[in-house]
Chain A
Amino acid sequence: MINLNTKKLKDKMLIDYIPIFLVFGFAILFSAAVVYSSSLFGPQRPNSEKLSTYESGMKPIGTTHDRVSVKYYIVAMLFIIFDLEVIFVYPWAVQFKKLFTEFGISIFFSMLLFLVVFEIGFLYAYKKGGFKWD
C-alpha cells in the first residue's frame, strides 16, 4: 500500500500515478456497466437464423471451425528450426577462432549438442513429409 504521509521520492512517484489508476478503474467499471446494461435492457430473442454464421447474407457452407492444412504447420516448424540455427550458428562460426583460443574444444561440442537437439525436430519434420511439395 502507498503511505500518503511519507515524503520519500519513491512513494511520491507512485502517488503521481494514482490518477492513471483511477482512469483505468473508471474505464473498466464504465465499460462493464454499459455491457451489463445492454444485456439488462436489450431484448433477447435468439433463433436459429439469428445465431447462424454471418456470410454476408449467404447460406453458410461447411462449419466455421474448419481444419487448416497441416502443411503450413510443418513449414512453420522448419522455419523456426532453420531460423534459430542461423541466428546461433552464424555468429558462432564467424567468431570461432577467437572462441576456440578462449574456451578450447568444448565450444565446438556445445554447439554440436545444440544442433543435435534441433536435428530431432528436423528429422520429425522430414518423417512427416515436410519436404514433399505436391
Chain B
Amino acid sequence: MGLESKLTNDGFFTTTIDALASWARENSVWPMPMGISCCAIEMMAVGDPKYDIARFGSEVMRFTPRQCDLMIVAGTVTYKMAHVVKKIFDQMPEPKWVIAMGACTSSGGMYRSYNVVQGIDQFLPVDVYAAGCPPRPENLLNALMQIQEKIGKTRVKDFPDAQQSGFDTKPTDLSLSKN
C-alpha cells in the first residue's frame, strides 16, 4: 500500500527526484478553502470524520494563501468577488491547482445573471470541475484524487523558477467579459 510495500529483502529502494517530489506534493495538498456560498457546507463536511479529507493529507485548510497548494472555489462567484478570488489565487505560491466545485463555480449554474461570472475558468486555470449542486463530499474527494493523480504526473522541471524560464512575473490582468 505505502512505501513499506516497496521495500524488498534488501531493505532499501531507489527512486527519482521527480517521483519523490510528486509523492510529497500529492500527499500534502493543502487547500485554500474559498467557501463563497452553499458548496462550502459540503466542503466542511469533507473535513469531518465521516468523509475525512485527512486520509489524503489535505486536512490542513490554510486561511492564508501563502501556505496553500490547492484552491477549492466552492460557491457562486460574482463579478465583485471575482477580483477577490483572483487576488488570493495570485498570492498563492507555485505550484498551485484549482478545483471548481459545483455548478455555479463551473458554469454560473442556475444564476444566468448579470452579476455572476459564468464559470471561473474565465479568469482561473481550473484543473478539475466537480459536478453537482452542491456536489456530494465524495465528489469533492474524487476531485481531490484527480488533482493528486495530476500532480503525480508532474515533474520538478515543469515548475521552473521565474528567471530560468523567463516566466512573466507581472500579475495577470483580470479582464472579464460580461455577457
Interface residues of A (CB under 8 A from B): 41-50, 52, 54, 56-59
Are B167 and A57 within 8 A (Cβ)? no
Point out the residues of chain B lying under 8 angstroms from A48, CB to CB: 170-171
A45 to chain B, nearest CB (A): 4
Can you list 16 contacts pairing A with B, beta carbon distance less than 8 Å?
Answer: A41-B21, A41-B156, A42-B93, A43-B95, A43-B159, A43-B161, A45-B94, A45-B169, A49-B90, A50-B90, A50-B93, A50-B171, A54-B66, A54-B88, A57-B87, A57-B88
Point out the residues of chain B lying under 8 angstroms from A46, CB to CB: 162, 169
Residue of B nearest to A53 (CB): B91
In the complex, the 5 A-B pairs of residues with the closest C-beta atoms, listed nearest first: A49-B171, A57-B84, A43-B159, A45-B162, A49-B90
In the bound complex, CA of A59 to CA of B65 (Å)? 15
B103 interfacial by beta-carbon distance below 8 Å: no
Interface residues of B (CB under 8 A from A): 17, 21, 64-66, 83-85, 87-88, 90-95, 156, 159-162, 167, 169-171
Residue of A nearest to B17 (CB): A41
A51 to chain B, nearest CB (A): 8
B166 to chain A, nearest CB (A): 11
Are A52 and B91 within 8 A (Cβ)? yes
Are A43 and B160 within 8 A (Cβ)? yes
- The interface residues of chain A, by DSSP majority, are classed as loop
Residue of A nearest to B90 (CB): A49
> Which of A43, A49, A57 contacts B94, CB < 8 Å?
A43
In the bound complex, CA of A44 to CA of B94 (Å)? 7
Residue of A nearest to B156 (CB): A41
> Which of A41, A43, A50 contacts B91, CB < 8 Å?
A50
Residue of B nearest to A46 (CB): B169
Residue of B nearest to A48 (CB): B171
In the bound complex, CA of A65 to CA of B3 (Å)? 47
Are A54 and B64 within 8 A (Cβ)? yes
In the bound complex, CA of A46 to CA of B169 (Å)? 6
Are A47 and B84 within 8 A (Cβ)? no
A42 to chain B, nearest CB (A): 7
B168 to chain A, nearest CB (A): 8
B6 to chain A, nearest CB (A): 20
Point out the residues of chain A lying under 8 angstroms from B85, CB to CB: 57
In the bound complex, CA of A57 to CA of B156 (Å)? 29
Point out the residues of chain A lying under 8 angstroms from B159, CB to CB: 42-43
> Which of B64, B84, B162 contacts A43, CB < 8 Å?
B162
A74 to chain B, nearest CB (A): 34
Known A43-B160, A45-B162, A49-B90; contact A54-B169, beta-carbon cutoff 8 A = no
